[in-house]
Amino acid sequence: MAAAASPAAGSQKSRRPDRTHFLYIAVIAAVVLGAVIGLAAPEFAKSLKPLGTGFISLIKMMIAPVIFCTIVLGIGSIAKAATVGKVGGLALGYFIIMSTFALAIGLVVGNFIHPGEGLDIAASSDAAPAAAEDEEGMTGFLLSIIPTTLLASLTGESILQTLFVALLVGFALQKMGTAGAPVLKGIGYIQALVFRILMMIMWLAPIGAFGAIAAVVGETGIQAIVSMATLMVAFYLTCILFIVVVLGSILKLVTGVNIFKLMRYLGREYLLIFSTSSSEVALPRLIAKMEHLGISKPVVGVTVPTGYSFNLDGTAIYLTMAALFVASAMGKPLELGEQISLLVFMIIASKGAAGVTGAGLATLAGGLQSHRPDLIDGVGLIVGIDRFMSEARALTNFTGNAVATVLIGTWTKEIDKEQVTAVLDRERPFDEASMNIDAGTDEPRETEESRELAETVPGPAGSAPAAPRH
């Protein structure tokens, strides 16, 4: 039955990138059109601001369920990964350290370039009031994290309350053991529903981007275009330096492997990711290539799938740089203390985030709403340029996971160094036929072994269907 259904499933998957490309092209066209109208007819462009505001309201509507499902399932994944022993422990420890480091790099670069400075975009009149801690002190702030009821955290406006309850639920499910598995599975299905709704909302991104960009350009002129271009260029350069300098140095010092040779070996996967703006599409190929490189199957089977949820270096850099950009653009820069607390929030909220279009925006909006609600309207700026930065995010995430697999294999002594040298020197090329590709698709055929792996490797979505990572 499964074998007969696999071609159809493969055909469905093969059509997904095309739909993503349509959305990508539509957003680009909307941004260009919005900028042109903003320059040509500023007053009319300003009247289009409600289009962007409405789209951000839809994103805000999804913040609480996204954060709740992500954290609960993420904690469940940590429990599963930890049970595989030394490999899981090393992988999770490394992922937490590297993603935190990536978030910190985003903060440093954002503070250095100040890309949104000088825009001074006014927030809408219904902007949320300042955070409670300003009026009541630290004690009042801490008490405000506790919701009135358990379910109130999912319907109120405090994202910190949602985060608090999600942590409680996640750890409670851990303590329940096998008895909590059905609940965790049910939350996995709820997450699938939440992200399906979020994907539907993201098809309105061209309209939201058009209204937001037109209003900003109409209000600030060419300065808005310069500021957004500065952010994009800075983000791409930061990702490149992170890969070459940070990841390259660690890889060389620990394993002796040259980062450029590893990237050359994964060249076909980079092209696939760049064409789809998604690192998820290359997951099966990364698993196969890491095994061919000489890393043992258990290490690859744990590290790669877990890394796709917990080792999102590119996304981490993006979150902090985008938050600082929004704050600067609205003339309300974040203080150092606010930046640090935002970093801590992002460390938790980004773990286990399922990779669907809009999840990054929802996490960004959640971080701003939890710390500076008055900045939430500025997310409309990011909508317009988010798609332009998705390739850099996906490529950085993918490279980080490839490097992590080689590192974990070296630390656990589950790597054939002679094979690594031969493969990277092109003496033993990868056999593409080993991928067992279905005719007419770019997806691996489902086999009993692949189904078994999907059921046993840790992942935050449980039984929820995978979706493209951006």
Domain ranges of the chain: 35-456
Buried/exposed 49-70: b ≥16 CB within 10 Å, e otherwise:
bebbbebbebbbebbbbbbbbb
Name which of 384, 309, 234, 275 is nearest 74 in CA terms: 309
437 - beta bridge partners?
444
Residues contacting residue 419 through CB under 8 Å, at least 6 positions apart: 293, 294, 428
Q: Distance between CA atoms of 446 and 171, rounded to whole angstroms? A: 34
Sign of CA dihedral 167, 168, 171, 177: negative
CA 120, 121, 124, 129 torsion: positive or negative?
A: negative
Please give the Cα distance from 158 to 422 (Å, whole number). 54
**Which DSSP symbol is given to 443?**
S
Q: Determine the average pLDDT of the residues in 317-333.
A: 82
What's phi and psi for 295, nearest 5 deg? -95, 140
- DSSP characters over 245-281: IIIHHHHHHHH---HHHHHHHTHHHHHHHHHHT-SGG
Q: What is the DSSP-derived secondary structure letter of residue 221? A: T
459 pLDDT band, cuts 50/70/90, is very low
In DSSP notation, 282-294 reads GHHHHHHHHHHHT
- pLDDT digit string (tens) for 352-404? 454 455 566 777 777 777 777 777 777 777 776 777 777 788 889 899 999 99
397 in Cβ contact with 247 (< 8 Å): no
pLDDT tens readout for residues 28-80: 888 889 888 988 888 888 888 888 878 878 877 877 887 788 778 767 666 66
Q: What torsion, rounded to 10 degrees, do the Cα atoms 182, 188, 194, 195 define?
A: -170
Percent residues over pLDDT 90 in the chain:
10
Residue 4, pLDDT > 60, answer: no
- Among residues 78, 93, 33, 435, the alpha carbon closest in space to that of 214 is found at 33
The contacts of residue 468 (CB under 8 Å, 6+ apart) are 16, 17, 20, 276, 277, 278, 280, 281, 355, 356, 357
Q: What is the CA angle 120-54-331, rounded to 5? A: 10
φ and ψ at 415, to 5 degrees?
-140, 140
CATH architecture of 35-456: Orthogonal Bundle (1.10)
DSSP 8-state class, residue 457: S
Tens digit of each residue's pLDDT (9 = 90 or more) over 199-258: 788 788 888 888 888 887 887 777 777 878 888 888 999 999 999 999 999 999 999 999
Per the CB < 8 A criterion, the answer to whether 402 and 266 are in contact is yes
